[in-house]
Amino acid sequence: MSTSLITCKISDTVIEDRFGVKHGSAEWYDALEQHFKWLLQYKISPYFCKWGNSMRVLTYTSPWPADHPKSDEFFSDPRLAAYAVPYSPVVPCGDLTKDYLQKEVEILRSKSHWKKAYFYLWDEPLNVQQYDAIRHQASEIHAYAPDARVLTTYYSGPSDAPLAPDNFLKVPGYLRPHTQIYCTSEWVIGNREEMVKDIIAEIQPENNEEWWTYVCMGPPDPHPNWHLGMRGTQHRAVMWRVWKEGGTGFLYWGANCYDKATVASAEIKFRRGLPPGDGVLFYPGEVFSSSHEPVASLRLERLLSGLQDIEYLKLYSSRYGREEGVGILEKTGMYLGPERYTLEHTPIDMMRGEIFRTCRSL
């Protein structure tokens, strides 16, 4: 897993509503840039998102066109591990729409940061029509850039064309070659750790395919997630799970997806139908003081701690091999599985201390 290959959505609509900034205005660009740079310090690669019909999404890391200096600044930042390229203009403007995709791709492919790029077109497709829409869009992208990466999140295959007997496991074969990053729900895996091997067996790294995972309103307690009311180590264990399972990236669906408000200082309310805290990792500073800087949740701080734990494990594994890295995770009792992880901090200190001692002496 890359140093910070966790990507997380910031809702541009929430920013527009709460801060009263018009889409495409100078204030809008300023607000998005502020949120991007703030979240980046937590080792997270942000992307912005606007929802379309039937879970179609317009995702982008930079609100500016590819030839704008700001885009190059965003994409070249060494802290950014991955960036989303929009399929269509973020701010439609006259001739910009014509041949937009081709022009954007041609510019980005000439840059050294192109290897960070991905297209995220649809969230959790459910039927043949939606899967076919992904295939169609991906075909257009690959016509201009055969090496482009398309990311698809999913928790099942198309419901109206069962890929029996393993609908979920057969999605890569169904979407290939139109998707390169297969991003699966941890909720589906649950505590069936043997399923991880089956998923990985379907991925073709030799063809530049990757396996990422995500959490959302599930999996529920006692599995690792970022809901309010869960224990600190449970929040932190989201990243432990990713590392042990062997995914190369992680996607989270929202960092500021609280209920709609039209005043920056309005009380934060979580969205109905979702577990408290789901889709919310930081809060507007205006809710607490006169500050305009976002305020991190404890869960975001624990996410960062989990990423730092991964850095320890990566260092240890680089010296002694991945099997030994998994071994120290289990030997200390820190993390054995999604229902078997420490509720106390002592095993974490043991893991870090052991790695510090063994790696310092080399």
Q: What are the tens digits of pLDDT across the range 239-279?
A: 999 999 999 999 999 999 999 999 999 999 999 999 999 99
Q: Is residue 356 part of a domain?
A: no
Q: Containing H/E element for 48?
A: strand 45-51
In this prediction, residue 159 carries a pLDDT of 87
In this prediction, residue 361 carries a pLDDT of 72
> Cα separation of 61 and 71, whole Å?
8
Q: Is residue 1 part of a domain?
A: no
Q: Is residue 275 part of a domain?
A: yes
Q: Is residue 93 part of a domain?
A: yes
Question: At 3, is the pLDDT very low, low, confident or very high (cuts 50, 70, 90)?
Answer: very low
Structural domain containing residue 17: 6-296
Q: What is the mean pLDDT of the chain?
A: 95
300 CB-contact burial (10 Å; exposed 0-12 / middle 13-18 / buried 19+): buried
Q: Which residues on neighbouring strands pair with residue 151, listed in sequence order? A: 120, 181
In total, how many domains does the chain have?
1
Q: Is residue 338 part of a domain?
A: no
In this prediction, residue 21 carries a pLDDT of 98
Residue-by-residue DSSP string for 188-227: HHTT-THHHHHHHHH--GGGT-EEEEEESS-S-TTS----
Residue 98, pLDDT > 80, answer: no
Coil, strand, or helix at residue 350?
helix
Q: Is residue 229 part of a domain?
A: yes
The domain that contains 198 carries what CATH number? Answer: 3.20.20
Q: Which has the closest alpha carbon to 236: 329, 348, 314?
A: 348
Which phi and psi angles does 182 have, rounded to 5°?
A: -95, 110
- Going by the DSSP 8-state scheme, the letter that residue 262 receives in this structure is S
Q: Is residue 357 part of a domain?
A: no
Q: Supply the pTM of this predicted model.
A: 0.96
Tell me the pLDDT tens digit for each residue of 100-147: 999 999 999 999 999 999 999 999 999 999 999 999 999 999 999 999
Q: Is residue 190 part of a domain?
A: yes
CA dihedral 177, 183, 187, 191 (to 10 degrees): 80
- Going by the DSSP 8-state scheme, the letter that residue 339 receives in this structure is T
> Cα separation of 301 and 233, whole Å?
12
